[in-house]
Amino acid sequence: MNTAVYRNQYLLVLTIIIIGIALRSVEYASNRSFASDEALTAQRIVSISLKESFFLEGKPHSRMQSYPVGFLLFIKMFIQQYGASEPVLRLFPFLCGVMSVFVFLKLAAEVLRGSWLLLALWLFAFSRDLVYYASELKPYASDALITMGASLLFFKMINQSLSRLEVWVYVLLGALAVYISFPVVFVLISVGGTLMLYFFFKGEWEKTRQLLIMGLIWGASFCFYYWVSIRHITVDPILLKFWNVNFMPVNEGPVMVVQWFIVVLKRIFSKFLQLPTALAAVGFMLGVVSLFFQTKGKFIVLVVPILFTLFLSALKMYPFDGRTIIFLFPAVILIIVEGIRVLGQNKSKFFEKVVSGFLIVFLAFYPTIFGYRQFAEPFGAEEIKPVLQYIKENGKSDDLILVYQGALSAYQYYAPRYQMNNQIQVMDRKKALDFANHIREGKISRVAKRFWVIFTHVGFDARANARLVILGRLDSVAKRLDGVMVEVTPHSQIQTIENNISASAYLFSLGRNSP
């Protein structure tokens, strides 16, 4: 640690770091059930070779991994050493989440001092998404870590010239980083390119030359990876359709773009960072202005990647919302805290301390409350394991199992663990109607006398809740005998697809008068 920056606050810094690691550790240790997309990812990682994950040409979406090959390599290394359990599969994201707390401290020290550095570190330690995704089988925690590392490199170049050895070390690290994290490419391109122009016009020829060398080799490495692998992902129609609502709607006019941007910022401030929206918005705007007029280098490192990612979103090349932009959250936190620092400035030192103290407490309050709840109630949003255990204990080997389409991946992943070899059918609203008609026609009774229906990852819209629609159709033709429901506390969750219901299952008997 660079204790020269925060020597007088060393114990406070250490305390916040310990809290941040503890939050991530408790979330990881809870060993929550894989969510539907996590379970699908786990199956693919185990079943698909690294070569198949790298060379994607000609492979349909269901057979490929849209994750960086380096991310998959680390996970496969852990699997070979320790097996393929949930904790092992989540170990690399967890380690990245823990290391990111230390790296963020170094990054924050480049921008802030004193109480403001402590506030930024506190917000990072308690950030809902950064805590949650440190134990999720996704590359978002590693994205945040690696992009922060790239930002630190650029800050070092701003502050001093690099030696020849340092240049080639960073060349190698950058060339490898593009295989571990997709978003790090945005930082390397946007910040590296802008800084090169900045140094060029300032007449700093050595730094310009160094960035040109690094940029050419980083670019060549990425171009190779893009050609053999990533280009097949960027045109995948399933992925484009899934993320379509998260692209900037440039074709719908400037008014819609502004409205979209306001909604996205509100979601980042209030939902993902758990900050008071109005104060965070003011802090963000003031922070951007302050960084621009204070030090161009800080503005380039923190703000330019956000603008570049927005540009890619406008081109429908990268979604700008939620977990896909977690790598920007460290910069957003630093910008907001810088803006709040400016907001609290006053000629009167006493008044400045009072106002600044109030702003710090107010900004840190909601993330702290969330952190406490997450610490006290670490429970998965799609907790299917208790449901399958209940079916194993109360079901029969000849029971038919209807699996809601959103639960299929999780069921397929966990069913072998519970020795569940029952015949299954995939269920959605339309298939529930067909199944009910088959019961009326007597077709199902030839296959089984009882059936379970399992729900998790339940979708619902303004018209109806899929779980309730399906249950209503089944209740009309069969007798409900039993059920189990796993509930969660919504305020402690990254997401709850269906209110506070994590997973559920219901047992039916054919014939309304059946025992």
Please give the average pLDDT of every successive group of 10 residues along the chain, which has 515 residues: 59 93 92 88 80 57 64 91 92 97 96 92 92 92 96 93 91 94 95 94 92 94 84 68 80 90 90 88 95 90 96 91 91 96 80 85 86 66 89 90 90 91 85 83 70 82 70 88 79 51 88 46
Question: Mutual orientation of helices 140-159 and 164-177 as an angle, nearest 10°?
Answer: 160
What pLDDT does 422 receive?
87
Quote the pLDDT of residue 60.
44
Q: Distance between CA atoms of 253 and 316, rounded to whole angstroms? A: 15
What is d(CA 277, CA 275) in angstroms, rounded to the nearest whole number? 6
| Strand-strand pairing, 400-404 and 424-427 | parallel
Q: What is the pLDDT at residue 5?
A: 53
Q: Are 368 and 126 in contact (CB under 8 A)?
A: yes
Q: The tokens 């008071």 sit on which residue?
A: 276
Residue 244 backbone phi and psi in degrees, to 5:
-55, -40
Continuous segment of H or E residues that includes residue 461: none
Residue 55 has a pLDDT of 61
Q: If 0-12 CB within 10 Å is exposed, 13-18 middle and 19+ buried, where does residue 361 land? A: exposed
Task: Note the helical H segments in 110-236.
Answer: 114-126, 128-132, 140-159, 164-177, 184-202, 205-225, 231-234
**Nearest 5°: phi and psi at 37?**
-75, -30
Task: Give 426's DSSP letter.
Answer: E
**Nearest-angstrom CA–CA distance, 485 and 504:** 4
CA distances 344 to 2, 280, 479, Å, are 26, 13, 65
Between CA 414 and CA 46 the distance in angstroms is 14
Tell me if residue 443 falls in helix, strand or coil. Answer: coil
Question: How big is the chain, counted in residues?
Answer: 515
Do β-strands 501-510 and 478-487 pair in parallel, antiparallel, or remain unpaired?
Answer: antiparallel
Answer whether 337's CB lies under 8 Å from 116's CB.
yes
**Sheet architecture: strand order including 501-510:** 424-427, 400-404, 450-456, 501-510, 478-487
How many Å separate Cα 496 from the centre of its chain?
Answer: 15
The b-or-e profile of 389-424 (16+ CB within 10 A means b, else e) is: ebbeeebeeebbbbbbbbbbbbbebbbeebebebeb
Report yes or no: 36 and 426 within 8 Å, Cβ to Cβ.
no
- Closest alpha carbon to 382 in 466, 483, 457: 457
Closest CA to 55 of 233, 231, 228: 228
Give yes or no for a contact between 47 and 146, defined as CB atoms under 8 angstroms apart. no
| Cβ neighbours for 327, distance < 8 A, ≥ 6 positions apart | 140, 143, 144, 146, 147, 181, 183, 184, 187
Residue 185 burial (10 A CB sphere; 0-12, 13-18, 19+): buried
Residue 101, SS3? helix
Q: Which two tokens stand for residue 86?
A: 């949930």
- The phi, psi pair for 397, rounded to 5°, reads -65, -25
Judge whether 292 and 304 are in contact, CB under 8 Å: no
* Contact of 371 with 23, CB cutoff 8 Å: yes
Contact assessment for residue 352 and residue 344, using Cβ atoms and an 8 Å cutoff: yes
